[in-house]
């Protein structure tokens, strides 16, 4: 099953991330999403993965598992690095969007149990992959965040009231005993609340410290603990000032930021999660005795008969063998009208059976269905990293240590210089620890890419490469192939008005006896329903390479090539268009002329591409006369016909040597080298498999508009990434000195840090409001 055979797509998403555990992407998302964190894992509680291992004929094995507590690029890097260190493992890939880890290995040195144990030992619970787990984990995270937020909010409100009383008493007649009592009451409220509500930070920090790593939950946890400990110390000594309000308020505002950002990022990646959710969990198979039994959809193999009741989702790709119904394919194809299916029709996993039961014969198992293929494409895309992400990764290796050094320097500078007492110096250091969290910088690129991928997915465009947006945004030249790209690839009869109804009906009937492309084009023409009623009297025979022959009313009837029908070169129509000829008895041959229709919106799309300031070219392997006519019809000034694959490569290299950045749009086997050579590449879903492999984007449907949409979204995404990075850098340039100089309290720092990450995510969400036309 390949995407070439699949209908247009509707939904999905993609998230491109990478880096080390102490990198900016890791720190940002760990600090901005929080919620569920790794807990101690008892590997004996994990279901035996051996039942879920898939073996192949070449001796390799594969296993897909659901991974919980997956928060960031650092998690991905840690899991993949740990798995690839196992003997025999050839591939380990973690999908951030679907929380799926896919592992491939050879031989018997490694087992499914060892793979599960390795992931769990890193602090990430695993379970058999099931789309239900995705929603369950998401719901559990949301509940934990809300519970922590509620407790922190309640405690912060009450402690703040007590603090106001203390502050008011300091300027009136409140005695030390009353003040100390209020401090102890504040401690009794704040400390348990900090211990409970701070768990998202503490667990994350503890997990990474156990493995000798760091993330930005470490300084956040350190800041909260320092503020709480210092306040308790001040209370024990009966000092005038305690800072329980700052400690619990800090946790409260950090949790607000995490929850809001959790919701925003969940919205951004909901398309990818929804795509996996289309898969049915169970399938009803019909055995040899006609009995029905339910089995996991993943256990269905090609050739099995599957019963699909009305209202159920089709569990696997297959072919209808019994029944007739309407299928809702909107979630897969984007089509709003149901599709009528009858015996012989192909159906796809994830579509919804609406009106009547169906029996289908499975043509692909769970790992080779349309949905599985799309998920693999998404996972492949997540391995690529854009230039901005790579730069952030390199800078992030020293970021976490730098934060602690800066906080220590702030504390020592204020305390040793005598500018502030110990407790105030600690508060300044706490503010530095909080405000320097690089959430905004880490989210700058992934947030925009995830949302952009979802926007394109809903328009039937698959993004296959992590840096595809960046490269497509940089192009200044678009080179099109003709057949199957600018055109539909389906030949159509173009001169039916010049042919008598009798000859047309007779030719259509003859054409129904052949699988030749021109015969099929004639048989499916608009007049195809008017064929000769008694076609059995024709006694049609086919002569390969020449045409069809039959008889009607005692007359010899032929349909085929010019020579087969004895039409000399001086006969009507001597151009290069594809043709069939019909000869009935001694009558003059009649020509049937065909054209390869351009996509309905091709000319408009090309005009709009030009309006973006891009140069447009046509490179075709077709004859010069045909390529020239198509170029003229679509308004393309620069074109070349009769191009071999090497010619296309040479032309692209010449353009690139002149400083041009070229996007290649093609579909054929001969286009694959040019697609790989382009700065960016786009291919239709009907393209050859090798062309799809080489392309950065794959678009579905009969229109060319997705090409224009991809270019516009890529440009907008690139602009938003730059804006996000400017926001993040500007925030740090402005906020860090303020905290170091003592002008920001820990509460202000928490609000500033949370606001910066939210601002970046909300800025990226503007892509959803983008107009495509």
Report the catalytic residues: 481
Residues 6+ apart with CB under 8 A from 83: 89, 92, 101, 103, 115, 118, 119
Distance CA(694)–CA(685), nearest Å, equals 13
What residues does 583 pair with on adjacent strands? 558
The token pair at 444 is 């700058």
- Give alpha helix (H) positions in 171-243: 176-197, 199-210, 217-236
Cβ neighbours of residue 757 under 8 Å, at least 6 residues apart? 28, 31, 32, 257, 261, 439, 440, 443
Would you give the end-to-end CA distance of the chain in angstroms?
A: 33
Neighbours of 520 (CB within 10 A): 15
Quick one: which of 155, 161, 162, 154 has its CA closest to 183?
162
Please report how many Cα atoms fall inside a 13 Å half-sphere around the Cα of residue 341, on the Cβ side.
31
Query: Tokens 């709009």 correspond to what residue?
Result: 608
Rounded Cα–Cα distance for residues 722 and 596 (Å): 43
Measured CA to CA, the distance from residue 268 to residue 455 in angstroms comes to: 10
d(C-alpha 420, C-alpha 194), whole Å = 26
Residue by residue, what is the 3-state secondary structure of 321-353? EECCEEEECHHHHCCCCCEEECCCCEECCCCEE
Nearest to 664 by CA among 701, 632, 696, 641: 696
Q: Which two tokens stand for residue 222?
A: 């350190």
Enter the tokens of residue 768. 């959803």
d(C-alpha 713, C-alpha 124), whole Å:
35
Residues 300, 304, 309, 313, Cα dihedral to 10°: 40
DSSP strands (E only) in 54-158: 54-55, 60-67, 89-95, 100-106, 126-128
Q: Strands 662-665, 477-480: parallel, antiparallel or unpaired by DSSP?
A: parallel
| Closest by CA position to 457, among listed 551, 332, 545 | 332
Distance CA 457, CA 375 (A): 12
Q: How far apart are alpha carbons 303 and 287 in whole angstroms? A: 11
């Amino acid at each position: 099953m390949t995407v070439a055979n699949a209908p247009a797509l509707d939904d999905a998403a993609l998230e491109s991330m990478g880096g080390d555990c102490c990198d900016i992407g890791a720190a940002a998302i760990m600090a901005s999403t929080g919620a569920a964190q790794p807990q101690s894992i008892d590997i004996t509680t994990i279901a035996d993965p051996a039942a879920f291992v898939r073996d192949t004929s070449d001796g390799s094995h594969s296993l897909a598992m659901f991974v919980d507590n997956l928060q960031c690029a650092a998690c991905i890097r840690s899991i993949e690095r740990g798995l690839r260190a196992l003997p025999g493992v050839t591939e380990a890939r973690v999908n951030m969007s679907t929380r799926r880890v896919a592992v491939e290995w050879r031989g018997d040195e490694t087992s499914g149990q060892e793979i599960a144990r390795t992931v769990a030992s890193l602090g990430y619970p695993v379970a058999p992959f099931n789309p239900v787990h995705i929603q369950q984990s998401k719901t559990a995270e949301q509940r934990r965040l809300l519970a922590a937020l509620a407790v922190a909010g309640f405690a912060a409100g009450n402690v703040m009231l007590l603090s106001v009383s203390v502050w008011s008493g300091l300027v009136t007649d409140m005695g030390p005993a009353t003040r100390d009592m209020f401090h102890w009451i504040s401690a009794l409220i704040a400390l348990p609340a900090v211990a409970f509500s701070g768990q998202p930070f503490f667990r994350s920090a503890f997990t990474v410290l156990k493995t000798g790593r760091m993330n930005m939950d470490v300084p956040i946890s350190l800041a909260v603990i320092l503020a709480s400990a210092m306040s308790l110390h001040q209370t024990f000594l009966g000092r005038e000032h305690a800072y329980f309000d700052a400690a619990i308020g800090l946790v409260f505002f950090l949790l607000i930021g995490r929850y809001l950002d959790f919701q925003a990022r969940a919205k951004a990646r909901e398309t990818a999660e929804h795509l996996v959710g289309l898969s049915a969990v169970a399938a009803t198979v019909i055995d040899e005795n006609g009995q029905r039994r339910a089995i996991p959809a993943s256990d269905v193999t090609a050739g099995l008969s599957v019963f699909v009741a009305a209202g159920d989702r089709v569990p696997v790709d297959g072919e209808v063998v019994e029944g007739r119904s309407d299928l809702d394919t909107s979630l897969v194809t984007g089509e709003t009208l149901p599709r009528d299916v009858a015996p012989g029709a192909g159906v796809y996993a994830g579509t919804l059976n609406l009106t009547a039961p169906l029996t289908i014969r499975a043509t692909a198992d769970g790992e080779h269905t349309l949905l599985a293929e799309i998920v693999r494409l998404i996972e492949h895309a997540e391995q690529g990293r854009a230039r901005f992400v790579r730069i952030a990764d390199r800078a992030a290796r020293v970021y976490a240590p730098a934060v602690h050094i800066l906080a220590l320097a702030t504390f020592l500078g204020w305390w040793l210089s005598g500018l502030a007492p110990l407790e105030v110096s600690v508060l300044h250091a706490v503010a530095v620890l909080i405000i320097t969290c690089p959430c905004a910088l880490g989210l700058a690129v992934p947030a925009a890419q995830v949302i952009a991928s979802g926007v394109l997915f809903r328009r039937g465009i698959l993004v296959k490469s992590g840096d595809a947006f960046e490269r497509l945004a940089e192009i200044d030249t678009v080179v099109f192939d003709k057949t199957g790209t600018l055109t539909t690839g389906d030949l159509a009869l173009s001169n039916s008005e010049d042919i008598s109804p009798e000859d047309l009906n007779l030719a259509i009937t003859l054409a129904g006896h052949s699988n030749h492309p021109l015969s099929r084009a004639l048989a499916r023409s608009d007049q195809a329903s008017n064929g000769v009623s008694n076609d059995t009297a024709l006694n049609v025979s086919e002569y390969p390479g020449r045409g069809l022959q039959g008889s009607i009313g005692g007359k010899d009837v032929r349909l085929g090539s010019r020579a087969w029908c004895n039409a000399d070169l001086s006969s009507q129509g001597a151009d290069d268009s594809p043709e069939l000829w019909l000869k009935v008895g001694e009558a003059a041959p009649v020509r049937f002329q065909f054209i390869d229709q351009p996509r309905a919106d091709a000319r408009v799309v090309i005009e709009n591409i030009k309006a973006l300031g891009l140069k447009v070219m046509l490179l075709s392997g077709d004859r010069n006369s045909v390529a020239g006519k198509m170029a003229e019809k679509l308004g393309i000034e620069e074109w070349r016909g009769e191009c071999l694959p090497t010619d296309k490569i040479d032309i692209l290299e010449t353009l690139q040597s002149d400083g041009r950045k070229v996007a290649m749009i093609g579909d054929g086997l001969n286009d694959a080298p040019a697609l790989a050579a382009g700065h960016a590449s786009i291919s239709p879903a009907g393209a050859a498999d090798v062309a799809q492999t080489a392309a950065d984007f794959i678009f579905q449907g009969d229109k060319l508009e997705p090409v224009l949409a991809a270019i516009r979204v890529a440009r907008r995404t690139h602009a938003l990434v730059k804006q996000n990075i400017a926001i993040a850098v500007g925030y740090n340039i402005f906020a860090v000195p303020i905290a170091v100089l003592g002008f920001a309290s820990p509460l202000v720092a928490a609000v500033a840090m949370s606001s910066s990450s939210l601002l970046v995510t909300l800025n990226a969400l503007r892509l959803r409001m983008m107009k495509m036309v």
